[in-house]
Amino acid sequence: MPSDQPIAGLLRQPDRDWKPNPPASEEEIARLRAAVRFQLPAEYIELLRFCNGGHGEVDAPPLLFFMDSIAEALEHNKVWNSEGRYLDFWFFGGNGGLETLGFDLRVGPPHPIIMIDTIAGEESAEQIADSMADFIPKMGLASDRPDHDQPL
C-alpha cells in the first residue's frame, strides 16, 4: 500500500461500501499473534487496528465479506483445527454463507488469500488474492466498479 494511503484512508473513501467495527486493542492483537503458528502480515495487523471485524462488498469472490473479529477468528479456527480440519489454512471471515476466507499456509509468506466452501472441503480452496496486501484494496468495492484495481 502506498505510504500516503493507509488502510484506514483507503477503506474510508466515499465510494467504498465498508462498515468497520471498532478497532482491535493492542492486547487483542498480542493474543492473536501468540495464538497463530505463522507471522501475521503487517497489512492484516494494520487492518485490525482500523477495524476488529466489519462487513461490506469485496471485488473478488464471494462479493460480500464479513470480516471476523479477533475473538471470532480465534474461536472458528480453534473449532476447525480441533476437528482435524483445515490445518493448512487460517480463516478470518466469510460471506455470511458457506464461503470462508483465509490465509493459505501451504504457500508463502506472503500467504495467498483463499476462499473455501466449508461443506465441499479443502479441495474447494480457490485463491482470490496473492496476499493480504492484494486483498485489502478489494474491500468495500463492488466487482463491476472501474476503480477496483487500486494497488496496495
Q: Would the pLDDT of 145 be above 50?
A: no
β-bridge mates for residue 20, sequence order: 54
Angle at 123 between CA 87 and CA 78, to 5 degrees: 25
pLDDT of residue 142: 86
User: Which CA distances in Å does 53 have to 44, 73, 119?
Assistant: 11, 9, 23
* pLDDT digit string, tens, across residues 117-137: 988 989 999 999 999 999 999
Q: What is the mean pLDDT of residues 50-69?
A: 96
Q: Parallel, antiparallel, or unpaired for β 126-129 and 54-57?
A: unpaired
3 state SS for 36-80: CCCCCCHHHHHHHHHCCCEEEEECCCCCEEEECCHHHHHHHHHHH
Q: What are phi and psi of 22, to 5 degrees?
A: -60, 160
Of 145, 142, 116, give the one whose Cα is nearest residue 18: 142
For the sheet with 89-94, list strands across it: 18-20, 54-57, 64-67, 89-94, 99-104, 113-117, 126-129
Q: How far apart are CA 132 and CA 50, in angstroms?
A: 15
Q: What is the pLDDT of residues 9-45, one digit of tens each?
A: 999 999 999 999 999 999 999 999 999 999 999 999 9
Is 114 in a helix, a strand, or coil?
Answer: strand
Contact (CB, 8 A) for 84 and 122: no
State the CATH class of domain 7-138. alpha beta
Domain ranges of the chain: 7-138
